[in-house]
Amino acid sequence: MEKLATKKPPAFSFLPLALLALLLNACASSQARFETLRDSVPLRQDVAQVQGYRLLLLERQALAERGADVRVYIEGDGRPWLAGGELIAADPTPRKPLALALMAQDEGGALYLGRPCYFLGAGEAPCHPRDWTSHRYSEQVVAVMSDALSKWLASHPRISRVSLVGYSGGGVLAMLIGERVPQVRQVIAVAAPLDHAQWTKLHAYSALSGSLNVARQSDWRPGVERWAVFGEQDNNVPYAAMRHALPPGARVLLLPGVSHECCGDQAWTSILGRLNQVAAASP
């Protein structure tokens, strides 16, 4: 939740002990949930270093031998704020890494591309709270992630076709990164606030003043298949409020009975199958 802050966030050292203990327990449970997902596949963990940032990479084992295609998953915004939007989080890492949960269902070649300051280094330079609040889709963040993906692809020369899958805010980043990495041939944005100005206004959240906006992107790279997946019951990112922001030619999949936390009782692999069927049937 990101309500407009009405006062300067106090330092964590002055939080009540009960609240501090609750936050620490939440961090511990988040780490345990992440490790369970990571180890269920299993995945090879690595770190990319770009412009001083450290980005988490989780690669399906033996990915280099799986062929020329790979899906790259990008996580949502996690928890930028605490206490109803009055405190900036010291670490935005999500309690539920939903993009990682989707990737765990994907039996094809897959890579989890971390966001700057998520999972790693939130308290270290050059990380700054703006990287997960007002500037979380900034030129710098997009450039760092694009560079990290490009460097990873350079070390995997057999991979020639990339599909980006981004959940929520990760879908915004997927759309933007897809314009910068030539190997990207498909982008799937799931429950993504493609017009963050409209989205923040809708919820009375703080404006993402330093962020790029998909809705204002004028030129789109040809040869990229773009999908926007929305839940029909998603009140956080409603399709009706985002449809105007779709890139030209983008396809839409509406999931009945699904809210913001994709994908209800529908398996992610079945949704991928539906996307592939529609694409194959298109002229």
List the CATH number of the domain containing 40: 3.40.50.1820
pLDDT at 275: 86
In a domain, 11, yes or no: no
Instruction: Using alpha carbons only, give the angle 201, 75, 245 rounded to the nearest 5 degrees.
Output: 40
Q: Is residue 5 part of a domain?
A: no
Q: Is 204 contained in some domain?
A: yes
What is the average pLDDT value for the chain, to the nearest integer? 86
On whether residue 140 sits in a domain, the answer given is yes
| Residue 82 contacts residue 23 (beta carbons within 8 Å) | yes
* CA torsion through residues 158, 164, 167, 172, sign: positive
Domain boundaries, position 146: 17-281
Is residue 232 in some structural domain?
yes
Burial class (CB in 10 A: 0-12, 13-18, 19+), 130: middle
- Number of structural domains the chain divides into: 1
Contact between 214 and 142 (Cβ < 8 Å): no
pLDDT single digits (tens) 33-48: 666 766 666 788 999 9
* 167/227 Cα distance (integer angstroms): 12
211 occurs within a structural domain: yes
Instruction: Give the list of residues 6+ apart from residue 121 with CB closer than 8 angstroms, or none.
Output: 53, 54, 127
pLDDT digits (tens, 9 = 90+) for 141-184: 999 999 999 999 999 888 889 999 999 999 999 999 999 999 99
Strands 53-60 and 43-50: antiparallel
For residue 186 the two structure tokens come to: 């498909």
Decide if 235 is inside a domain: yes
> Does the pLDDT at position 83 exceed 90?
no
**Is residue 141 a part of any domain in this protein?**
yes
Q: Read off the pLDDT of residues 60-70 as tens digits, 9 standing for 90 and up.
A: 866 655 567 89
Q: What percent of the chain has pLDDT over 90?
A: 66
